Every structure is written in structure tokens, then in C-alpha cells.
Structure 1
Amino acid sequence: MTGAASALTLNSVGFASAAPGGGQGVDSEAAPEGGQETEVVRGRLEPGAPDWVYLPVEIPRGVRELRVSYSYDKPQVPAGVQGNALDIGLFDQHGTALGGRGFRGWSGGARTEFFVRADEATPGYLAGPVAAGTWHIALAPYTVAPQGLAYEVRVSVVRGATPPSRRPVHPPERVRGRGKDWYRGDCHIHSVHSDGKRTPAEIAALARAAGLDFIHSSEHNTTSSHGAWEGLWGRKDGRDLLIMVGEEVTTRNGHVLALATDPGTFIDWRYRAGDNRFGHYARAVRRAGGLVVPAHPHGTCIGCNWKFGFGDADAVEVWNGPFTPDDEVSLVEWDNTLARRPGTWTPAMGNSDAHRDPDTIGLPQTVVLAEELSRGAILAGLRAGHSYVAESSSVSLTFTVGGPRGEHASIGERLRVTRDASVTARVTVEGAPGCSVRFVTDQGVLLTAALPASGTGSAEWTTSPQYAAYVRAEVRHEAPAGRPAGVPGPLAAFTNPVFLGEVQRG
């Protein structure tokens, strides 16, 4: 695979050919109608194995269903040494070339078996005819133990007539909302279609209970969930739920949300930072109407740390799930970029990355100012940075900066005043008991004020553009006992910045 991460193609697996007629009859060598034939492949991968190992499977005519199962050994390894982890996926007769024309599904390490046929497929895989030709099972050795990785793949075909295909029903791009308003959403959620344990129906119910107005289905390296939300967006409890679909593009050098692309859009993930491919796929996300959002850029899992840079990012996920030290690092790194290039910046957002109980959907959530509850309006608000992040729907805030002559700017905007003008930043917070407010600028934290015990209150700070290039607000919990001096408590909320003064160029 030219220009992609390293790959290896194994010897092919074949099955007896069916008689002419494509599913209506079989020859003497093939299994009878509805019968199953199985081939077993065993192999071994050593440390330093290629990222992708392709097993070609020759599919004859007359196959109605393909079934695959696999296993691999997991020897004990010393503390601090990575053990074996082997992911799996499938490409059909259209091939394995980058871009994904032949893509038929991915389950990573979440499943040990799957099937595909015209009318149905295992979650993570795309239903469709099992056409004759060379298919490929993709094995991806994520980590290999020093002892090596021995694997076994069982490939089965079931003969018979192809059942009628089903046309997927995708969520609508616009649902009933409240007109121009602040809408709450969680744009990083996993279901049974990748490594999550919740069904789409369970996720929709939990999102409504969390007070969310919109969610985004972001499965690892697959689009199979795009048609799995039928009937879940309608009005319940007096409101609609906007459901957007996309993908979490899970590379070996970091994860990125292809946020709210056109349904059915597949974004390939088979490259590393050194392959110089990411820009191509970032443009593909935008052509499909979506946003490019690096996820948990300082995540601690293998392959999670973002290595592609932020030049192609439309936003960045700086808060992922319960607030942890890697989120603090992401927040600081993002803040450090805000004064680098006059007139250009990358908005921040936060999402739950919820997979299963007890993961909380809506912890955190991004609150977006949008003209309506639609895919286009929500994405426009996120792209412009007209948003803040809160730990739950109980926490809300307003943040504005005013100038001496009535000038006014809100989150994500620029207050255009002279460099020496006196400007006042004001934040009002509700639902944050035991918290304090911090005003943050390009120089750092310049004011901290405790909120009343009720958690509802406001704070003001006066500055000028010559002293602060931007100002943003944070709401923080009290630092836990034993935390080093100067290290703040976890976030309860934070805003995107308001920039101050005219853009200084040159």
C-alpha cells in the first residue's frame, strides 16, 4: 500500500465454486443450499509486525453470507511490557486501497466473530451482498508481546440465494428546537457498533435524561451505526433530539473525530503521521460537510496521543470524560495556541467518550449558540467557537466583555476597541456550588473569585487589549486535599475566549 503504514498480504483462502446461476444451485464440490464451508488459517506475527496484515479470501458465486471468527494467544508479559492485541476488519471485492471503496466493517478488538449478508450484518460491519471476488480480512496487530502473537482465523461461507437488501434510514439534519438558543450536546459517544456496550436506543434515552439537545455517533473506524438511529430523534418529553453521525478515525498516532459528516461517509485510518496522508482525509471530512476534531490529544492509551499537529483541525477536544491530568495538559496546550496567530484560532470543545456503564453521557457537554437545532447550525456554532463546556446540564454560564462606548462581545467573538480602551469581562454562573471563577488571559490566570455557597453568582474583571490579547473564563472545583500548591481543582466549566482589540498584522 504505497504511502500508507506498512502492510503484509498473506496467501489466499479459497472455497469451491458454485454452479452458474449465482445462488440458485451448487455443484458437486460445494455445500448444499444453506450449507456452510469453513477454512481455518493459522499464523504467527513477531514483534515489529506490519500495521496491517491482509488475508485474501476468494468468494465464489452463490454465497449469501460470510462468517469470520478469530482468536490469538495472550501470553503473560513482565510489568511494563505490552501484551498481544490484534484488531480485525473486512474489505470486500473492491479491494483494500486507501480511501475505503472496499470497506465493509471494523470491530477492532471488541469482537471475536462477525458476519455480513445482504440484509444484515454484525454491528460494526456493513450489510450488503457477498459478491464473488477477492475479499480481505484485515488483521491489525496493535501490540505484539516479546513472545510473538499466534493467531487462528476461521472463515466460513454459507451458500444460498441473496436476500433483499435493506435501505438504511438516516437521522434528519434538522429537528424541532427553540430557535436561536444555547444547545447542549455530546459529540463523542460509542455504541455496540464499535467498542461500546450500549445500544443506540439506550444512548438516546440517556442523552435525553442528561438534558442534551444533540448527540454525535462516533464509532471507531466504521460507519455502520449511521443507519441505526431510526425513530430515536422524535419528540419525547416535549423535545426532539438531534442525532448527527460520523466516525472516530482511530490511527496508530492519535484519534480524530470526523464530526457530523454526510451519512455513509467513510474516512480511512490506515496511515501514520509520517505517511503525510492526514491532510488529504481532513479535506475529505470537510467535503462531506463535517468538522475535523482531534480527540483526547494527550490521552494515555496506546496510540491515543495526537501526533498530526493542529493545522488541519476545526476544533479540538480538550476535555474528554471525567476531568483528569491529561485533560489539564490538553487545556493548557490549547490555551498556549490562542495568541500565536493573529486572527486565527482553534475552538475547544468537550465530550464524554462514553462507552458503557458507569460512563456518563454528557460528562462533559459542549453548549453551543446556534440559530436552530440542526446539523448545519450546530456545526457553524462549533466552528466559530460560540460555545462553552460544562460538566453537566446543571451548570450554565454567560460570559461577555464590554467596551467603554457600549461595545459588546460574547464567547468566540472579538471586541474591537483601541489598545488602551478599558474593557470589563463579566461571567455569571449557575449550578456550581463549592466552585470558583478564574479569568484567564495570554499571561495566565489574572483573577480568581469564589462563588457563593449556592453555586450561583458572578464576577467581573477590568483590563485593556494592550494588557490582555484575550480573556476566557473557567469554573473550577476546589482542589482535592494533597494536591500540590498551585495546581487547580477539576473543571466544572470553561469558555472559549473573547479576543480583545483589532487584529495586529505583520
Structure 2
Amino acid sequence: MMGMVFMKSKTIEIERFFSSEDKEKYFFIPFEVPENCEKMKISYSTDKLKGICIDLGLVYPDGTQNGASGGRTKSIEISARYSTDGYEPSEPYAGTWQLIAGVYRPSEGVKVTYTITFIFKEKRRLKGDTHTHTLNSDGGLTPQQLIAYAKKKGLDFLIITDHNNNRAGSYNLIDPDITIIKGMELTEYNGHCNIWGTDKPFDEPYCANSLEDFITLAQTARSKGALISVNHPFCKMCGWHWPLDSFPFDAVEVWNGPMRIDNISSLKWWHGELLKGKKLPAVGGSDFHRDFAGLTHLLGCPTTLVNSSSSSPDDILLAIKSGNSVITSKPDGQVLCLECEGAQEGDEIPWRENIAVNVHGDRLKKGHLLEIFNNNEIIYSEKIKNTDLSLILSVPSPGFVRAQISHQYGAVATFIYHKVAKLMIPEDSKLPLPPFIKCLTNPIWFV
């Protein structure tokens, strides 16, 4: 289920002969990029080993320049996540692109062979953290240090959401090994929300003294293509104090940081919204600021796993908006996935009598409780016996199916939780602990 994805690809070759008379001239070489391309790799070789220098550049289908590298390199890579230095990160969208060939130094005629490989989009699970902070607000790491930490934790994407800092587009944060998504956390005294996917969500100051002010800022961000997630709505320290029904948002952060009682309250509210028929995606984010005394490793706790068609920021955010995701406690935590006749989490499929859903699990912990919900009815509830799982369950009623894994803390873990809560959330320090969630899926909708 979570194995390696082998990407489909297509390679073409273009041969051009340049004579000595072509010296110090530029030539445009057109080529067609097919549909559904995630990444493009371009390289060239010559039939002469010495005395040759061919400059390289790339032009979009609209005639504007993507980038150039001169004679510095014979190979480049183009994708929305990352492009070679000197080239703009961009999805290689379908159309007629052009290579720029600058014939700088041919001592004699030379044959140049351009090799272009198109790597196509393919659904895969990507692990990421949707809610993090750096020294650009109140975090403890620079953006570069945070990215290095995320890579060490094995994350595939990272959304940086500094408080009220709308300068995400001014930072050139790209990396070949991880997708960096621009964001900010709009932080007001009556509620917080994450704004993802735009360089600068609004120009005016972030200050909102009323729900109307807050909605105006959010709508400006949405008009620029941003996604909005309500953060930690039932947090006792900084929860949401405006009416949730009055605010336009695309997702809700039901799991913020280490699992705690407030998150269970958010989960119960979200489940109630699902029962009303609201297709509201759930996300998890660590709200990472810093680790403490070398004892914690909080980045990616929890981790949101999206079922994305590519590693581009746009496709990852589309998967989040569509609910094509699950949440687990950490990057290598327990994973559940749902599937029904090609539909997965967040998808819709027509309900009929005897339709069945497939439930798959990886890295499961024996003794934890697996529950499958069909609306408000638990259609499966069993303690986990193996580290992997494959179930087929009938879906009794139209509505939705979702799954979760929970675990009741023992005496030692409960003692530690109450000690930490006494410092961080005093109200929790004497409360009984409910079973805490270890993994949670978004629902498949049966309509």
C-alpha cells in the first residue's frame, strides 16, 4: 500500500547539426510536452569531445523565457517542486516549448543530440506537515534549518506558516528533495487559521478586530487561490471564538501537535459536521516551534499523508482540499487507507446494496483499537492483532465511511500527560483521559 511508486516516463531525442558558420548565433528548437507531465529532464551530448560549447536555455509555450544556464551544465530538470539553478520552478504543462541553443564555440561542424525525458503524474502517498513556524515569527529555527529537519524526519512536503507573516513569496525556498509550500498563520485574538499556497495573501495589515475584518482578509486570500484551514478550534489556550458556521474555510485542523484532550473535542465536532453531510476535510499539523531539551522530536507529529497525483504544491493542496488524505501520529506512524472500486479517502461513489469498502493498514501496533464508522454506526471494532491489515466490509447505509485507530494510555503515560498538562494546559491536569487517536482517515462518501 505504501510501497514505491514507479513513475511512467517517455523519452524523445532531437538531433541538430551546427556548422562552423553557426558560431555565435542563437537557435530555437521546438518540442512538444505531452499532457499530465510532472517533471521534465533535458540533457544534450555532442559528437565532439573538445572545442565545443553550446549554451542552453528554455522557453515556455507562450514565448516567455523560463531560464538559462549558458554553457555551465549539459543537463537540467524542470518541475513545479524544483528546477535546476537558473530555471524557474514550473509544471511542464502541455504545449510547444523551445530549447535555446547558443552556438558559442564550435571549431568545426558538430552534431548535438538533445534527450528529453517526460515523467508523468502518478498517484502516490506523500507525508507532510501542514503547520510549522520559523524565526520569521516565534519559531526556533531558520527556514533552512526547518527544511533540513523535515528532510531528516522523512517528510515529502512542508508548509511554513509563520504568524501574520505574509512575505512567504519573498523567500526562495526550493529543494530537490522536499516540496516547500508557502503559507502563513493568520493569528487573531479570537481564532487562528492557516492560509496556504499563495505568495502574498493580502497587502493590508493582518489586524482583525471583528469577524467581518477576519472574513475580508480570508476572502482576499481565497481570491488569490489560497486554501484556508481553521486551526485548533477547541484549543483551551488559543481556540476559535467566532461562529465556525460564519467563516469560509476549506479544511479544519482536527489534530494539532501531540494528541491531547482538545484534539478529541475537535474530532467530535468534525464528526458531527460529517453527519450533517458537510464534506469538510480534516488535516493534522504539528504547529512546530521548537524541540525541548533534546527530549522531543515534534516536527511531523502529527503527519498528514496526502494521496496526490504529483509532488507539486498545487497537487498537494488539491489533495488536501479534496480530503484525499489520512493523519497519523508521526512520519513513520500507523497508516490506514480506504478504497472502494477505485474511490479513496475524500472521493464520492454511488451507494448500493452490498457495496463493500477495503480497509488497509500498515505499521499497526498490536493491542490498539481499530474502529470503522458508517455515519454514526461503528461497523467494525477490534483490537489490532497484526502489524498489517486488509479488510473488506459491507457498507450498510449511504453517507460516509471513515476509520480510526485509538489507544487508552496506561498509568505511566497518564501520569506523564497530567504532569506536562499542569505546566501547559492546567485545566487538563486533573481530567480523565479518553482514548487518544493514533491514526485517522478522511471519509469516502457514498451518495
Using structure 2 for the length normalisation, give the TM-score. Answer: 0.64
- Show the 5 A alignment for 1:330-479: 330-341=266-277, 344-358=278-292, 360-395=298-333, 397-402=335-340, 407-418=341-352, 421-434=353-366, 435-453=368-386, 455-465=387-397, 469-479=399-409
Q: What's the counterpart of residue 99 of structure 1?
A: none
* Contact 2:334–2:361 (8 Å) recurs in 1: yes
Pairwise CA distance, 1:317 = 0.6
Q: What's the counterpart of residue 139 of structure 2?
A: 196
* Contact 2:166–2:199 (8 Å) recurs in 1: no
Deviations 1:215-235 (A, max 9, x none): 1110111134543454xx333
Structure 2 residue matching 1:362: 3-state secondary structure? coil
Q: CA separation of 1:316/1:171 partners in 2, compared to 1, >3 Å: closer, same or farther?
A: farther
Structure with higher RCO (Cα < 8 A, 6+ apart): 2
Deviations 1:123-152 (A, max 9, x none): xxxxxxxxxxxxxxxxxxxxxxxxxxxxxx
Q: 1:253 aligns with which of 179, 182, 190?
A: 190
Pairwise CA distance, 1:186 = 0.7
Work out the CA distance in 2 between the residues paired with 1:171 and 1:366: 28
- For residue 313 of structure 1, what is the amino acid of its counterpart? F
The structure where helix makes up a greater share of residues is 2
Pairwise CA distance, 1:382 = 0.8
- For residue 261 of structure 2, what is the amino acid of its counterpart? P
Query: Does 2:263 align with 1:327?
Result: yes
Work out the CA distance in 2 between the residues paired with 1:257 and 1:267: 17
- Show the 5 A alignment for 1:49-68: none
Structure 1 residue matching 2:266: 3-state secondary structure? helix
Pairwise CA distance, 1:465 = 2.0
Work out the CA distance in 2 between the residues paired with 1:266 and 1:257: 17
The count of residues paired between Structure 1 and Structure 2 equals: 314
Q: What's the counterpart of residue 126 of structure 1?
A: none
- For residue 429 of structure 1, what is the amino acid of its counterpart? G
Q: What's the counterpart of residue 301 of structure 1?
A: 237
Query: Does 2:221 align with 1:291?
Result: no
Answer with 347-356 or 258-267: which moved more.
258-267
* Contact 1:292–1:315 (8 Å) recurs in 2: yes
Work out the CA distance in 2 between the residues paired with 1:401 and 1:368: 14
Work out the CA distance in 2 between the residues paired with 1:357 and 1:444: 39
Q: 2:214 aligns with which of 260, 273, 278?
A: 278
Structure 2 residue matching 1:183: 3-state secondary structure? strand
Q: What's the counterpart of residue 166 of structure 2?
A: 223
Work out the CA distance in 2 between the residues paired with 1:173 and 1:331: 37
Structure 2 residue matching 1:195: 3-state secondary structure? coil
- For residue 266 of structure 2, what is the amino acid of its counterpart? S
* Contact 1:173–1:375 (8 Å) recurs in 2: no
Q: What's the counterpart of residue 81 of structure 2?
A: none
Deviations 1:441-484 (A, max 9, x none): 3224342122225x322344323225xx2110102234434989
* Contact 1:258–1:293 (8 Å) recurs in 2: yes
Work out the CA distance in 1 between the residues paired with 2:291 and 2:230: 24
Pairwise CA distance, 1:323 = 0.4
Work out the CA distance in 2 between the residues paired with 1:346 and 1:182: 20
Work out the CA distance in 1 between the residues paired with 2:235 and 2:403: 24
Work out the CA distance in 2 between the residues paired with 1:171 and 1:244: 15
Pairwise CA distance, 1:185 = 1.1
Q: 1:241 aligns with which of 167, 178, 181?
A: 178
- For residue 289 of structure 1, what is the amino acid of its counterpart? G
- Show the 5 A alignment for 1:106-121: none
Deviations 1:377-418 (A, max 9, x none): 11111111111111122235353354xxxx442111122033
- For residue 289 of structure 2, what is the amino acid of its counterpart? H
Q: CA separation of 1:271/1:289 partners in 2, compared to 1, >3 Å: closer, same or farther?
A: same
Work out the CA distance in 2 between the residues paired with 1:171 and 1:465: 49
Unaligned runs of 5+ in 2: 1-85, 93-118, 415-429
* Contact 2:160–2:183 (8 Å) recurs in 1: yes
Q: Percent identity?
A: 26
Work out the CA distance in 2 between the residues paired with 1:331 and 1:430: 22
Work out the CA distance in 2 between the residues paired with 1:263 and 1:171: 18
